[in-house]
């Protein structure tokens, strides 16, 4: 049984991410499962720190992006919107190249708040970062849109 609201097969999250931090960091949604969402991010000049390893802030941006997309898919988007409220992250091991893959699963999906757990692993499946993100669910139509629909916010 799916945790998503409505039909999500036609929702093109990657297209909606254009002209945003998500695109800048190279984050791509690669899979939407019945109970999780999966994305990947390159470990390259955009996402590393001066020591040459994945920047912790890039990991947090990946985690919040994925939690936010998950929350977006889990609510009635015609009446509700989700916004990040709190995030924490534990950085476990460095990565200097390749890709990291993140999987977001729900810890709690409530009417007013969601809590998502995001596990980020390297190409060998080793844990790189674990994060927990709390989203507030607010009563307004979702404002997520593709770049051309953002108006003054673009």
Q: Which residues are catalytic?
A: 64
* Cα 149 from Cα 154, distance rounded (Å): 8
Sheet of 81-91, strand order: 28-32, 37-42, 99-109, 113-121, 127-138, 81-91
> E strands, the chain, where?
28-32, 37-42, 81-91, 99-109, 113-121, 127-138
Three-state SS for 22? helix
Number of DSSP helices (H) and strands (E) in the chain, helices first: 3, 6
| Residue 90 CB burial class (10 angstroms; 0-12, 13-18, ≥19) | exposed
Three-state SS for 74? helix
Three-state SS for 4? coil
């Amino acid at each position: 049984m799916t945790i998503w609201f409505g039909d999500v097969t036609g929702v093109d999250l990657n297209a909606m991410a254009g002209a945003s931090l998500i695109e800048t960091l190279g984050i791509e949604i690669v899979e939407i499962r019945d109970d999780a969402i999966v994305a990947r991010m390159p470990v390259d000049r955009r996402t590393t720190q001066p020591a040459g390893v994945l920047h912790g802030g890039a990991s947090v941006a990946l985690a919040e992006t994925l939690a936010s997309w998950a929350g977006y898919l889990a609510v009635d988007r015609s009446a509700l919107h989700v916004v990040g409220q709190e995030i924490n992250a534990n950085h476990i091991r460095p990565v200097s190249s390749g890709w990291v893959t993140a999987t977001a699963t729900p810890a709690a999906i409530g009417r007013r708040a969601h809590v998502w757990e995001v596990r980020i692993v390297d190409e060998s499946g080793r844990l790189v970062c674990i994060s927990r993100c709390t989203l507030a669910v607010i009563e307004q139509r979702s404002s997520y849109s593709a770049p051309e629909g953002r108006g003054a916010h673009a």
